[in-house]
Amino acid sequence: MQSLHAVSLIIPDYDAAISFYCGTLGWTLAEDVDQGRKRWVRILPPGAMQGSLILARADTPAQEKVIGDQFAGRVGLFLATDDFARDHGAMQAAGVIFEEQPRHEPYGTVAVWRDPFGNRWDLIQFA
């Protein structure tokens, strides 16, 4: 058996990303290990047991250039919820920027949002 453990997200600053994801969104800081020139920072959405996000600070000009555009302008990250209305409302109240109104698709209810670094996400409740 295999499963996807984590996805790395290049960010400009560890503490700013932790503040947004763990403070504003209420995610869990699972690991924050100082490795000298970098940190191993792993976060999980509320209630998640797997499917974590590794926050990787950009440390080269090439990496800095892709912050917010790691998926070439497409939605590249998908946050599933069991209650779209609850989480959409809470995220809006916390100042999260949604690019559109919620829409109903055959696969579920979805809306695109952005983190402060420009990464585009779907908030989705599957049908």
Question: Average pLDDT for residues 54-80, to the nearest whole number?
Answer: 96
Confidence of residue 49 (pLDDT cuts 50, 70, 90): confident
Instruction: For domain 1-67, give the CATH number.
Output: 3.10.180.10
What's the rounded Cα separation, in Å, for the pair 40 and 19? 16
Give this prediction's pTM. 0.94
Long-range contacts of 82-86 (CB under 8 A, 24+ apart): 82/125, 83/125, 84/108, 84/109, 84/123, 84/124, 84/125
Average model confidence (pLDDT) for the chain? 96
Options 3.30.390.50, 2.60.40.3140, 3.90.226.10, 3.10.180.10; CATH for 69-127 is: 3.10.180.10
| pLDDT tens profile 19-28 | 999 999 999 9
